[in-house]
Chain A
């Protein structure tokens, strides 16, 4: 279902201490990355409620990336361990309702891994571009589209 002209929208949830800083480093190092990702900075992966991912799809994301500090590096010691356990369940749940792995990605990117960040983001964007627009969610989002405008 490769779709060359399609530009996916990727929502990224990144922890403040590692991945966000890593993404910042990528910027200051002038590494090039595709412009399809929107970053949302959260204190820690432990703060990422799975409902955030659902909101991302509700607001039009074609794919989601969740990223934080490597195991043992979490600023709050265990936030990412707790998060990982939740993801093990949540990604299976999403898969069961028809939101496949190809749209939901996870990574550990540290503050010094500017290059890894660029590779991860580019990889996710390419993958989702190949997957095509998330038609399923777009359809159910449609109920919320403004009707043909008739002014009051």
Chain B
């Protein structure tokens, strides 16, 4: 904690960073939330521990860019993946961000409970390297943690074993709950379009009504626009007030990226994006 605060204070003092996007404790609670530190005193409020669930990379495309200095950001390794993805997609430049990497020992699923095997965020289960790479500096220590059941993977396997009609009925019941609040979009570090297709009205491709049909269209297109891009942070499904298992679709798309292209978005900032590129030898067997 002190190391993190010290680095943040120095970065602000030297004007390396204009502000630091980090986590601060919610008063009277162990929970944390995003916090933007702009001066030394505020940098003293920054924390990092297992209650830091949020993927802060979402702010890099939402917050006003400073005229001078970089955007500082505290990033665990999964957040770094989102940052690298944004670099790959040309949304930010490497010299616009000052990345304070934090070694991570897993974060909680339910912030009201302590970290345990049962209370481990789904993304940590899938995490490949809790130590962030390619950051400007790193603090803290990554302790090994016990992985839990892969609930999303299990549910997906179950879903895949159903008939198409049963799958359709499953999603009909799920999407019926959607209220079209677009929290899934706003919480996603990779949903940064200035004008989302859901907001376009001429023509209106995706009905703005929260009808089951409009919700199908929205959720399918959201998942598709993240295909080969989603870095699996789970923020969309955490933000969803209707508890729709959005990660099933994201995971499926991630699995296809892996299976067909051996590709993981946000792994290397020099990689071309998957759906933005092509290969002559791409799979052709499903085309008559």
Contacts and interface: CB of A to CB of B under 8 A. Distances in A.
Direct A–B contact present (CB less than 8 angstroms):
yes
A92 to B, nearest CB: 5
Contact of B286 (A54, A72, A106, A123): A106
B288 A108 contact: yes
Interface string B1-19: 0000000000000000000
Interface in A104-152: 105-108, 120, 123, 135-137, 139-141, 143-144
Nearest to A52: B205
Contacts of B252: 92-93, 96
Chain A contact residues: helix, strand, loop or mixed = helix
Nearest to A84: B282
Given A95-B164, A141-B213, A54 B169 contact: no
Nearest to A54: B217
A141 B216 CA distance: 11
B205 A55 contact: yes
Contact of B221 (A51, A137, A144): A51
A49 B205 CA distance: 10
Contact of A98 (B169, B213, B221, B256): B169
B168 A97 contact: yes
Interface string A48-75: 0111001100100000000000011000
Contacts of A51: 197, 205-206, 217, 221
A82 B278 contact: yes
A85 B282 contact: yes
Best-buried of B205, B220, B283, B284 by chain A (most CB within 10 Å): B220
B179 interface: no
B168 A93 contact: no
A54 B221 contact: yes
Nearest to A108: B287
Contacts of A101: 286
Nearest to A66: B287
Contacts of A85: 274-275, 277-278, 282
A94 B249 CA distance: 10
A143 B172 contact: no
A140 B275 contact: no
B159 interface: yes
Given A88-B260, A106-B288, A97 B205 contact: no
A82 B282 CA distance: 10
B215 to A, nearest CB: 9
Contact of B168 (A54, A55, A98, A141): A98
A14 to B, nearest CB: 13
Given A86-B275, A140-B216, A96 B248 contact: yes
B161 interface: no
Nearest to A72: B280
A99 B167 CA distance: 8
Interface of A: 49-51, 54-55, 58, 71-72, 78, 81-82, 84-101, 105-108, 120, 123, 135-137, 139-141, 143-144
Interface of B: 159-160, 164-172, 197, 205-206, 211-213, 216-217, 220-221, 223-224, 227-228, 248-249, 252-253, 256-257, 260, 274-275, 277-280, 282-284, 286-288
Given A81-B278, A89-B228, A143-B213, 7 more contacts: A55-B205, A82-B275, A96-B167, A96-B248, A97-B168, A101-B286, A106-B286
The 8 residue pairs across chains A and B that have the minimum distance between CB atoms: A98-B168, A98-B167, A81-B278, A107-B288, A100-B164, A136-B168, A89-B227, A140-B213
18 contacts: A51-B217, A54-B221, A81-B279, A81-B280, A84-B278, A84-B282, A84-B283, A85-B277, A87-B286, A87-B287, A88-B286, A92-B252, A92-B256, A93-B249, A99-B164, A100-B164, A140-B211, A144-B211
